């Protein structure tokens, strides 16, 4: 039996949260226009999965810890796990995932992962907090993967949509190589100034990946129409992704990234991994604001 959806609302937005993955599955404006993906199974059925305890793919599908190998799927297991609702009001909810026998077989740590979704006027804030409840250091990565409607529901052409960064991003992008791993950073930036003109051809191979991002915010949409501002002050990496022809574009702030091609180190050496001491908590937040 599927878990019951959580409904949140403010005067400007409404949201639906699925306890499976603590995932945002719908975000609508005050006129009930959908701002998220249509989740067409011909392309991708995700909406906005929470990525934990890793972001991206592992070389060979395994990570190494203390001389042992542990298998983990791309982006970890949180997105396929059912969370417990521990707090809920009309405009906010907190959901929690804790370690289990199944999780400890692939991630041998005592943890709690809290995901809080809160609406405040035109802004949805999602805060993910990892808590090391064990007696030894714990590795963790956290990422967001929201898929926004492309085009947004405001009558503008798909081809006119842009993503505008709040800082200059001159660095070359990383290539995605077979297995979803990170290859050389030799892809010329497709930005013109701070602007990315969205086009399916950009994603013919895979995502656009910034391994080190200067921006802490982007604006998505069409000038002169309502847009979305996505703020990500806590994440040093960013992916932008879709499948050509799909009715969504993902803006993905990450603290963690796929393994580099050929990576054979222990998980502590994996780019973006955070090392949490016993009892330590770590929070990463993202905000989505509907602007006019």
Number of domains in the chain: 1
Residue 182: predicted pLDDT: 97
Residue 2 in any domain: the answer is no
Q: Residue 217 in 3-state DSSP?
A: strand
Give dist(CA 265, CA 96) in Å, integer: 31
Residue 1 in any domain: the answer is no
Task: For tokens 């050929």, name the residue.
Answer: 262
Count CA atoms closer than 13 A to 233's CA, side-chain side. 6
Pairing of strands 23-29, 217-221: unpaired
54-89: pLDDT as tens digits: 999 999 999 999 999 999 999 999 999 999 999 999
Give dist(CA 269, CA 267) in Å, integer: 5
**Of 8, 6, 14, 23, nearest to 75 (Cα)?**
23
Q: Which two tokens stand for residue 150?
A: 């492309």
> If pLDDT is split at 50, 70 and 90, which confidence band does 91 have?
very high
Residue 147: predicted pLDDT: 98
pTM: 0.97
166-225: pLDDT as tens digits: 999 999 999 999 999 999 999 999 999 999 999 999 999 889 999 999 999 999 999 999
210-255: pLDDT as tens digits: 999 999 999 999 999 999 999 999 999 999 999 999 999 999 999 9
Residue 90: predicted pLDDT: 97
Instruction: Assign residue 36 the CATH number of its domain.
Output: 2.70.98.10
**Of 241, 247, 168, nearest to 205 (Cα)?**
241
Residue 2: predicted pLDDT: 62
Which residues constitute the domain of residue 222? Answer: 7-291
> If pLDDT is split at 50, 70 and 90, which confidence band does 270 have?
very high
Residue 121: predicted pLDDT: 97
Q: Residue 292 in 3-state DSSP?
A: coil
**CB neighbours (10 Å) of residue 236?**
18
Average pLDDT over residues 122-146: 98
**CB neighbours (10 Å) of residue 167?**
12
**Of 222, 239, 192, 198, nearest to 291 (Cα)?**
222
Residue 59 in any domain: the answer is yes
Q: Which two tokens stand for residue 10?
A: 């403010």
Average pLDDT over residues 269-280: 97
Calculate the alpha carbon distances from 122 to 14, 35, 96, 230 in Å.
Answer: 9, 12, 25, 12
The chain-wide mean pLDDT, for the chain, equals: 97
Residue 29 in any domain: the answer is yes
Whether residue 1 has pLDDT greater than 90? no
Q: Are 97 and 113 contacting, i.e. CB atoms less than 8 angstroms apart?
A: yes
Q: Which two tokens stand for residue 211?
A: 């391994």
SS3 content of the chain, % helix, strand, coil (to 5): 10, 45, 50
- Angle at the Cα of 222 from the Cα atoms of 216 and 224, rounded to 5 degrees: 110
Average pLDDT over residues 26-51: 97
């Amino acid at each position: 039996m599927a878990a019951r959806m959580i409904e949140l609302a403010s005067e400007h937005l409404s949201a639906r949260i699925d306890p499976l993955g603590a995932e945002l599955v719908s975000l609508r404006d005050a006129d009930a226009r959908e701002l998220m993906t249509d989740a067409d199974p011909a392309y991708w059925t995700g909406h906005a999965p929470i990525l934990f305890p890793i972001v991206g793919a592992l070389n060979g599908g395994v990570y190494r810890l203390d001389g042992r190998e542990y298998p983990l799927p791309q982006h970890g297991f949180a997105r396929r796990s059912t969370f417990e609702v521990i707090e809920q009001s009309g405009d906010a909810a907190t959901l929690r995932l804790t370690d289990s026998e199944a999780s400890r077989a692939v991630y041998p740590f005592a943890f709690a992962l809290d995901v809080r979704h809160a609406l405040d006027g035109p802004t949805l804030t999602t805060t993910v907090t990892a808590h090391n409840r064990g007696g030894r250091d714990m590795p963790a990565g956290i990422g967001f993967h929201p898929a926004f409607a492309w085009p947004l529901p405001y009558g503008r052409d798909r081809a006119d949509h842009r993503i505008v960064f709040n800082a200059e991003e001159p660095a070359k992008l990383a290539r995605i190589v077979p297995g979803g791993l990170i290859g050389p950073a030799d892809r010329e930036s497709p930005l013109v100034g701070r602007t990315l003109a969205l086009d399916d051809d950009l994603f013919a191979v895979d995502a656009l990946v910034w391994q080190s991002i200067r921006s802490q915010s982007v604006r998505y949409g069409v000038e002169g129409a309502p847009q979305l501002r996505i703020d990500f002050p806590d994440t040093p990496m960013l992916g932008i992704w879709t499948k050509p022809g799909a009715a969504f574009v993902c803006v993905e702030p990450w603290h963690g990234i796929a393994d580099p091609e050929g990576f054979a180190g222990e998980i502590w050496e994996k780019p973006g991994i955070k090392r949490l001491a016993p009892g330590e908590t770590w929070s990463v937040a993202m905000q989505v604001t509907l602007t006019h």
